[in-house]
A = this chain, B = another copy of it.
Amino acid sequence: MRYIESFRDGMHVSDVFLCKNRQVCLTKSGKEYGNLILQDKTGTIDAKIWDLGSPGIGNFEPMDYVYIDADVTVFQNSNQLNIKRARKADEGEYVPGDYLPVSSKDIGLMYEELLGFIKSLKNPYLKKLLESFFVEDTAFAKAFQFHSAAKSVHHGFVGGLLEHTLSVVKLCDYYAGYYPVINRDLLLTAAMFHDMGKTQELSSFPENDYTDDGQLLGHIIIGTEMIGERIRTIPGFPVKLTSELKHCILAHHGELEYGSPKKPAIIEALALNFADNTDAKLETMIEVLKSAGDNNGWLGYNRLMETNIRKTTE
């Protein structure tokens, strides 16, 4: 398959792409044409169907995989596709994994590493709670590995939720080793669960957009409820531990104005907030620097960093 990032002016393309968006527009002379956004895992591209009535143009919907015949042209410094023929692709014609941005790390290995951390815990209740999700609840386990950690911003790719969670768990493990007052079992459990609500806040790929519950409740509350509900099925789970674990989830954004209804009141909540924030912000900057390609100069004002930024000189 020829990927979008390799398109050059004048190429002819005959391949399947994911249709992210499809609209009918009017030319200045009043003629209708089709305006599409096509996607594969290397990026997206605008595509036009100038002759919607052509017999070669079949029916398809947004989020369909579509087989197209098209020419690459350049418009306002960007590549564009002029589509000659298009039809909905059959299931066997494509591999979904080719069409989604995906973690550069191996999802299976990362998950193994996460399970290893669960095994290392000592508190039987926390261990049982973690296993009930990550080991026994296969639907959850699958969703957790496949999900992104964001619609955009950072870790917005397949496996992103797992990759971010693992980074946070490891950083928390480092903290727990360095500051002995920290309760490692509580902190690592909270770290593994802290963004679990994102499995319901965001719909799955390829859509990866906010759900109704995501907008009305948010992943912090969804995750807290998921934990509360599951704990009620584990006899003898300590009451104080339940509250402390939920508190860590609730407080992990650190400040009320960032959506946490409580500020960290115990040290594990504070540590989780730092681990989450550190990985989120560093990964955000890493993704911004990567997307700059060969540009080693100043990249202008970055809204997330709230300052002009640039790569470090070698």
Enumerate chain A interface residues (CB-CB to B < 8 A).
9, 25-26, 28, 30, 73-77, 167, 170-171, 174-175, 178-179, 181, 183, 186, 210, 212-213, 215-218, 220-221, 224-225, 228-229, 232, 238, 240-241, 243-244, 246-247, 250, 256-268, 270-271, 274, 277-278, 281-282, 285-286, 289, 298, 305-313
In the assembled complex, how far is the CB of residue A8 from the closest CB belonging to chain B, in whole angstroms? 12
A274 to B289 CA separation, bound complex (whole angstroms): 18
Say whether, besides A286-B179, A286-B181, A313-B241, A215 and B77 are in contact (CB < 8 Å).
no
Q: Are A312 and B186 in contact (CB under 8 A)?
A: yes
Partner of A313, one of B210, B244, B257: B244
Say whether, besides A178-B170, A270-B282, A274-B282, A261 and B221 are in contact (CB < 8 Å).
yes
Say whether, besides A247-B216, A256-B258, A266 and B308 are in contact (CB < 8 Å).
no
In the assembled complex, how far is the CB of residue A269 from the closest CB belonging to chain B, in whole angstroms? 9
Partner of A308, one of B186, B265, B271: B265
In the assembled complex, how far is the CB of residue A238 from the closest CB belonging to chain B, in whole angstroms? 8
21 residue pairs of the A-B complex, CB under 8 angstroms, read A26-B76, A28-B75, A179-B286, A181-B289, A186-B312, A210-B308, A217-B243, A217-B246, A221-B221, A221-B262, A229-B232, A240-B313, A257-B257, A259-B261, A261-B261, A263-B305, A263-B306, A266-B310, A267-B289, A270-B281, A274-B274
